[in-house]
C-alpha cells in the first residue's frame, strides 16, 4: 500500500467523496486560496471550483450556520474550522442546532454535515492549545471522532461525510505530517468502533489521537523488559465503543487510560467509570489515568512540554498498575 501523510489521507477522502457525490462541498477560511491552515484542501479549488470550495470570512458561527442550512436542504457540507478553540464562537450553532434539529423535528429533517477542526498544542499559548473533545462528546445528537493514523483518518472521514448525522471530526495539529499505509481506492472505517492497535496480555492501555503514538512506543519498549501491553485506540468518542476495552481488561486485569486533555471530567473519566461498571470483578488493581496538567497551556516550550503527557508518564502509570 502507498505510504502517505495524515494530511494527504484527509485530502484524498474529501476529493474522492466530492468526485462521487456532487452534493458534497466544503467551506472555511482560506481553504480555496491556500488550502486551509494545514494545507489539507490544497488543490481542491482548482478541481471543483468556487461553487463547491468556498472561502469564508472569519465568522465561525456563520460557517456552521450556513452548513446546517445547506445540510437540511439536501447537501453534505464539510465545514472547516481552523482550530477547535474557535468552535467556541459557534458552540450554540453546533450544540443547539446541528445536534438537535433531527430530534426536534421528529426525524423530518437530517443534518448530514461534518465539522473538521484541529486540536492540540505547539507553542500556541493558552487560548489556542486546548482540546475540547469532551465538550462535544457530552452532547447527544453529535458524533465525535479523533483518528490517530492516516489509514483511520481517510476511512473515518469518508464515513463521516456519508453519515446522516452531524459529525465533529477532530484532527490534531501534530499529526498532519505523520505517515502510514493507506489503501488506494474506496474504503471506509465505520464510526463508533474502537480498535486494538497492539495485542498484549499484562495490561490494557487505552489512548486516542496524539497519545496513541507515544503509548505504542512505550509498549514496544516494555516488551523488551518482559511486559506485554495491549493498546486500544478509541478512535470514536461518541458513540464510544467499550466492548474491545472490556474484553481486553478481562484478559489483562489492568487498565491505564491516556489522554492529552485535562484529567477532571475528561474522556478518561468516562472510560474509567464505564469499565468499573462492566468489568469490576476482573480488575486486579485500581485503574490509572494519565492526562494533561490542569493549567492554561504556557507558551514557553519547556513549560509546554511539562503540561503534556510524556512517554515517562505513560510508563510510570503502567508500572504502577502492575
Nearest to 139 by CA among 178, 177, 85, 102: 102
Residue from 8, 16, 17, 60 carrying the catalytic annotation: 60
Tell me how far CA of residue 245 lies from CA of 32, 222, 274, in angstroms.
41, 20, 10
User: β-strands 195-198, 229-233: how paired?
Assistant: antiparallel
Measure the CA–CA gap between 10 and 309, rounded to whole angstroms. Answer: 26
Hey, is 181 helix, strand or coil? strand
**128 an active-site residue?**
yes
Question: Which residues face 78 on adjacent strands?
Answer: 26, 114
- Widest pairwise Cα distance in the chain: 59
Residue from 8, 16, 97, 128 carrying the catalytic annotation: 128
**172 an active-site residue?**
no
Contact call for residues 150 and 6 (beta carbons, < 8 A): yes
Which one-letter DSSP state was computed for residue 287?
Answer: P
Question: Which residues face 15 on adjacent strands?
Answer: none
Measure the CA–CA gap between 302 and 46, rounded to whole angstroms. Answer: 41
Measure the CA–CA gap between 137 and 72, rounded to whole angstroms. Answer: 22
Please provide the size of the chain in residues: 322
Backbone angles phi, psi at 80, to 5 degrees: -95, 120
User: β-strands 229-233, 255-262: how paired?
Assistant: unpaired
Nearest to 13 by CA among 114, 125, 133: 114
Query: Three cell numbers at 135?
Result: 465538550
**E-assigned strand segments in the chain:** 3-5, 24-28, 53-55, 76-81, 114-119, 143-145, 167-172, 179-181, 195-198, 203-207, 229-233, 236-238, 255-262, 288-292
The catalytic site residues sit at 60, 128
Amino acid at each position: 500500500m502507498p505510504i502517505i501523510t495524515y494530511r494527504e489521507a484527509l485530502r484524498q477522502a474529501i476529493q474522492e467523496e466530492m468526485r462521487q457525490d456532487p452534493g458534497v462541498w466544503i467551506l472555511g477560511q482560506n481553504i480555496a486560496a491556500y488550502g486551509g491552515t494545514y494545507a489539507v484542501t490544497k488543490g481542491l479549488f482548482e478541481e471543483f471550483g468556487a461553487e463547491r470550495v468556498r472561502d469564508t470570512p472569519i465568522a465561525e458561527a456563520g460557517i456552521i450556520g450556513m452548513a446546517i442550512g445547506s445540510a437540511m436542504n439536501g447537501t453534505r457540507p464539510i465545514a472547516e474550522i481552523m482550530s477547535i478553540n474557535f468552535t467556541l464562537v459557534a458552540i450554540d450553532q453546533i450544540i443547539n442546532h446541528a445536534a438537535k434539529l433531527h430530534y426536534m423535528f421528529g426525524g423530518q429533517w437530517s443534518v448530514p454535515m461534518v465539522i473538521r477542526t484541529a486540536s492540540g498544542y505547539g507553542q500556541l499559548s493558552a487560548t489556542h492549545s486546548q482540546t475540547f473533545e469532551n465538550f462535544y462528546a457530552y452532547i447527544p445528537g453529535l458524533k465525535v471522532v479523533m483518528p490517530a493514523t492516516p489509514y483511520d483518518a481517510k476511512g473515518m472521514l469518508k464515513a463521516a461525510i456519508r453519515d446522516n448525522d452531524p459529525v465533529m471530526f477532530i484532527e490534531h495539529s501534530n499529526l498532519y505530517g505523520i505517515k502510514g499505509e493507506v489503501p488506494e481506492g474506496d474504503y471506509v472505517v465505520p464510526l463508533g468502533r474502537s480498535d486494538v492497535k497492539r495485542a498484549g496480555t499484562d495490561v490494557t492501555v487505552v489512548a486516542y489521537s496524539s497519545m496513541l503514538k507515544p503509548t505504542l512506543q512505550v509498549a514496544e519498549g516494555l516488551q523488551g523488559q518482559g511486559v506485554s501491553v495491549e493498546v486500544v485506540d478509541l478512535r470514536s468518542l461518541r458513540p464510544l465503543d467499550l466492548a474491545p476495552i472490556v474484553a481486553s481488561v478481562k484478559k489483562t486485569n489492568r487498565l491505564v487510560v491516556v489522554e492529552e486533555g485535562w484529567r477532571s471530567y475528561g474522556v478518561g473519566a468516562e472510560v474509567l467509570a464505564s469499565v468499573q461498571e462492566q468489568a469490576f470483578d476482573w480488575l486486579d488493581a485500581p485503574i490509572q489515568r494519565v492526562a494533561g496538567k490542569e493549567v492554561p497551556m504556557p507558551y514557553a516550550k519547556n513549560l509546554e512540554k511539562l503540561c503534556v503527557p510524556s512517554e515517562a508518564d505513560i510508563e510510570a502509570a503502567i508500572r504502577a498498575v502492575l
